[in-house]
Amino acid sequence: MQGLDDEGLIWYPLTKAGDFDFSKRPRLIRYLDKMDGTILGNIWTDISPINSQAQERLGYPTQKPLALLERIISASSNKGDTLLDPFCGCGTAVHAAQKLHLNWIGIDVTHLAISLIEKRLKDAFP
């Protein structure tokens, strides 16, 4: 810990008066450019949208690419989490959650959506 402190990588909490607050634990400072992996930008051009010729197209007007939902869900959840999709439509988020081994709850009011999701999941996960 002394080596990390010498490198300026330890953050010590302060009180409102500016003194060290020894009732709180010091924290390790982590910089993104020193971490493993790639920093994603906010514009993702490597995932193509669903077009009329896309193989995964189910005919649902607001369908998103499975790869997009997999990326969003894996970046914002941990194994064992539960995903809630209250307007699941054709079930892309539910499909991605199942593929990522997450628990999920999908809700939709139309029988068309429910039937489509059931068929989609049975085909993808026999």
Tens of pLDDT, residue by residue over 27-36, are 899 887 888 8
- 49: CB partners within 8 A, 6+ apart: 65
* Average pLDDT rounded to a whole number, residues 75-99: 95
**What is residue 33's predicted lDDT score, i.e. its pLDDT?**
80
In tens, the pLDDT along 7-66 reads: 989 988 887 787 777 778 888 998 878 888 777 788 989 999 999 889 999 988 889 999
| Cβ-Cβ contacts under 8 Å for 116 (sequence gap 6 or more) | 58, 60, 90, 91
Cα–Cα distance between 100 and 72 in angstroms, integer?
11
The pTM of the full predicted model, rounded to 2 decimals, is 0.70
Return the percentage of the chain with pLDDT > 90, whole number: 61
Q: Is the dihedral of CA 50, 56, 61, 65 positive or negative?
A: negative
